[in-house]
A and B are shown apart, each in its own frame.
Chain A
Amino acid sequence: MTDATAHLARHLADLQTWDSEADDTLVCTAVVDETHDVRTFVFEPPEPRRFAYRPGQFLTFEFALPSGPVNRCYTISSSPLRPHTVAITVKRVPNGPVSNWLHDHCAPGTAVKAIGPMGEFSCLDDPAPKYLFLSGGSGITPLMAMSRAFADLGRPVDVVFVHAARTPGDIVFRAELDLIARRLPGFRVAHLPERAGGEAGWAGPLGRLSAEFLALVAPDFKERSVWCCGPEPFMNAARSLLGALGHDPRLYHQESFDFAKLASAEPEVAAEVLDAEAAEAAAVPTYDVTFTKLGQTVKVRADQFILAAARDQGVRLAASCTEGLCGTCKAKIVSGTVDMSHKGGIRKKEVDQGLFLPCCSKPKSDLVVDR
């Protein structure tokens, strides 16, 4: 048997459901390019498990960035009817620390931590005979999960799937959506690029969401339960357009990927994320790190690098490489202990004398530093 086959055999045994409270580790198994700046990352637990979630739900991840652990939410884009893996589909955000780290460093074998699933943005929570899915950019992910679930069952549906993108080249899941539309009775797709940019012979509509466009792709939109996800301006425009055209606001659902916005619109969802993060963080103790010369004390979690955490809290410490190579950040421990993983920036002799490198050390107790 080949490795893949052996692996498949393990998955076909009786599987327990994945429980992030028992084991929150996920391992990347595949990375797929969707567009020039969107990638899908497929994960499974270290031991085969089944994922149980409603399409549209998300996971809260903790990524071990070089600067320390960072939390972000990502919607599961894969189908819950294919429960052996979960996939997230991530768009690069210019200068975004996490999305870029995922694109540049997450590869098969990379372990991440995740908790969930959580979230209320699922058509399951408000069943309706007809749907209008409105998606913009990376907001396609929850709607894709729902569509894939329908497609996996194969029963006729009434879904109009609208995806707004900058150019045809930015349409995520283009081929797969077209395939679903061909095979699933009642599933229609309307791609809406803003401009033709790059693709010669684009035959479909161009521009932004408008009354004319709606009249064209879903003349019965007033009867449809609307599920909208995308950039804030996109969702704002969609919502006011529908309102102005007399669509019943009770049939309108949206989800924001901006966590602050999500928190104000859907406090219960945000609370769920924060609770989960807090539970996660509670497992990791937080220590007081005091810098005697600066006269400042900061809180540093046992899984954070002291220098990065101090900087986040406004304490400026001299440093250069921030990876334990140059020794610029060297400081003396007055009391307490740390867990240091340097790259030669400090000598054993110096460590014996109580020196350490805050850039690559995590606290193991409260700490007093002569700085």
Chain B
Amino acid sequence: MLDTTSVSPRALLARRKPGFSLEQAFYTSQEIFDLDLEAIFFRTWIYVGVEPDVPDEGDVMVVDIGRASVLILRDDDGEIRAFHNVCRHRGARIVHDEKSSVGKLVCKYHAWTYDLDGKLLRAEHMGADFDTSCHGLKPVHLKSVEGLLFICLADEAPADIDDLAEKMGPYLKPHAIRDTKVAHQVDLIELGNWKITMENNRECYHCAGNHPELTIPLFEYGFGFSPESMDETKAKEAHRYECMVDDLHGEWEGSGFPSKEIDHLDDRVTGFRTQRLPIDRAGESQTLDTKVASTKLLGELTEAKMGGLSFWTQPNSWHHFMSDHIVTFSVIPLSPDRTLLRTKWLVHKDAVEGVDYDLKRLTEVWIATNDQDGTLVGYQHSGVKSPAYEPGPYSPYTEGLVEKFVNWYCLRLADHLG
């Protein structure tokens, strides 16, 4: 057993063993949790939602990240903007509901009134010499990648988001995120450190044993496998999957849908990975019968069998884009041992519930899967706390992407600590 309580984060990082899970303190210590917020969540691009979260002018969404609270809104010109949710008078939080619709932003405390472009419009009793123009809301960097909203709380945001947007544009465009609506959202609080939630997502080693629903449409092999440890049936399955990837990628790319893997998980500040993954059986969507859950296909799509485009970003998101719906996931740390997993299901904005889609069919695979993953995260976190815990080895075949996540994390932390 390693006693890490007295070791500095810098020293812990320095002695980190590649290919192994992190030392206990990274998952349990308040100090490192605080450091994670400073070094990662307040410095890199964080995925927080989609443009359809604020569909109309005046729609506002509040996202809290650690001690920061951010307003994401659509202004009167239809532009999406982000501001700190802090009144420039005495600092009161301005908007309290997660979603609302406003004419102007008005602080409840003393009714300081801001325009949707952040300008202070009105502050009573401040005297004739009071300059409202110096008291606008503080802006937060915002980047919409084809409708996926990323914010960055740093003074200077990493510039490589533009490159990400450029590379991901052709992959995401066919799914026309801006023309969707949020059909459903579930906020799940997992009882584990946020990195455990992320690590869990970055492998499918655990899928066969835990995700009976997800593994109907999704191949566990999409995230790596070890050929030699598999029995004959499994090997055949894996081979079928590989042939399918080859065929379908050829087909999709041929008809103008980029599908090939791009992996920049740990070689840049704004890390990401994408690949269009085949879907099993009917091949249409991540549903229990693998057929589309919404008969109104997204964007200009006419073919239902588009597989599931998988898109991940560091540190806090993953997404599945199908022909008929999109599932997006955002991870937000709450405390060393509590993490918010926010899942949104998007369908075509004109799709009518009960007519074009059935909400239960749309959501049941991922509600079950999230639930199973939440339990697994809890299992890991409670074990990691134990005095018996020591970092264990990742599978070189099925956990390579977990290693990339952890590696990216350590690089960012090292960069911050200087």
- A interface vs B, CB < 8 Å? 320-321, 325-328, 342, 344-347, 349-350
The answer, yes or no, to whether B303 is at the interface (CB within 8 Å) is no
- The residue on A at minimum CB distance from B57 is A347
Interface of A is mostly: loop
List the one stretch of B25-33, B101-109, B385-393 in contact with chain A: B101-109
Q: How far is the CB of A322 from chain B (nearest CB, A)?
A: 10
Q: Which residues of A contact B103 (CB under 8 A)?
A: 325-327, 342, 344-347, 350
B370 contacts the other chain (Cβ, under 8 Å)?
no
Q: Considering the chains assembled together, what is the distance between the CA atoms of A345 and B111 in angstroms?
A: 12
Closest 5 CB pairs of A and B: A320-B111, A345-B103, A347-B58, A326-B113, A327-B103
List chain B residues, Cβ under 8 A from A326. Answer: 103-104, 106, 111, 113, 122
Cβ-closest chain B residue relative to A350? B101
Q: A327-B106, A344-B103, A347-B103 are in contact. Are A321 and B56 (CB under 8 A)?
A: no
Pairwise interchain contact A349-B56, C-beta atoms closer than 8 A: yes
**In the complex, which of the residues B57, B58, B115 has the most CB atoms of chain A within 10 Å of its own CB atom?**
B58
B interface SS class: loop
Bound Cα distance A135, B106 (Å)? 52
**30 pairs of residues in contact across A and B, judged by CB atoms under 8 Å:** A320-B106, A321-B111, A321-B113, A321-B122, A321-B124, A325-B104, A325-B113, A325-B121, A326-B103, A326-B113, A326-B122, A327-B103, A327-B104, A327-B106, A328-B111, A342-B103, A344-B103, A344-B104, A344-B115, A345-B103, A345-B104, A346-B103, A347-B56, A347-B57, A347-B58, A347-B101, A347-B102, A349-B58, A349-B101, A350-B101
Nearest CB in chain B: distance from A104 CB, A: 16
Chain A nearest CB from B81 CB (Å) reads 16
Of B57, B58, B113, B115, the residue contacting A320 (CB under 8 A) is B113
Chain B nearest Cβ from A53, distance in angstroms: 43
Minimum Cβ distance to chain A for residue B191 (Å): 38
Report the minimal beta-carbon distance from A75 to chain B, rounded to whole angstroms.
36
Instruction: List the B side residues contacting A347 at CB < 8 Å.
Output: 56-58, 101-103
16 further contact pairs, Cβ within 8 A, besides A327-B106, A344-B76: A320-B113, A321-B124, A325-B104, A325-B113, A326-B104, A326-B111, A327-B104, A342-B103, A344-B103, A345-B103, A346-B103, A347-B58, A347-B101, A347-B103, A349-B56, A349-B101
Contact of B106 among A328, A349, A350 (CB under 8 A): A328
Contacts of A342 in B (CB 8 A): 103
**Would you give the shortest CB distance from A230 to chain B, in whole angstroms?**
36
Q: Which residues of A contact B106 (CB under 8 A)?
A: 320, 326-328
Q: Name the distance in Å between A329's Cβ and chain B's nearest Cβ.
A: 10
Which residues of B are found within 8 Å of A320, using beta-carbon distances? 106, 111, 113, 124
Q: How far is the CA of A321 from the CA of B107 in the complex (A)?
A: 13
Complex Cα spacing A368 to B76, Å: 30
Taking CB atoms, residues of chain B closer than 8 Å to A350 are 101, 103
A346 to B113: give the CA distance in the assembly, Å. 13
Binary interface profile of B, 94-136, with partner A (CB < 8 Å = 1, else 0)? 0000000111101000010101000001101000000000000
CA distance in complex: A327, B111 (Å): 9
Nearest B residue to A347, CB-CB:
B58
**Chain A nearest CB, measured from B29 CB (Å):** 44
Q: Is the CB of B102 within 8 A of A327?
A: yes
Chain B min CB distance to A319 (Å): 9
In the assembled complex, the Cα of A286 lies from the Cα of B106 at a distance in Å of 32
Closest Cβ–Cβ distance, residue B216 to chain A (whole Å): 39
Query: Closest residue to B121 on the A side, CB-wise?
Result: A325
The answer to whether B102 touches A325 (Cβ under 8 A) is: no
Task: Report A-chain residues with C-beta under 8 Å of the C-beta of B124.
Answer: 320-321
Measured CB to CB, the nearest residue on chain B to A353 is: B101
CA of A344 to CA of B103, assembled, Å: 5
CA distance A328 to B112 in the complex (A): 10
Specify the chain B residue showing the minimal Cβ separation from A323: B122
Are B122 and A325 in contact, with the CB atoms below 8 A? yes
The distance in angstroms between the C-alpha atoms of A349 and B60, with both chains bound, is 13
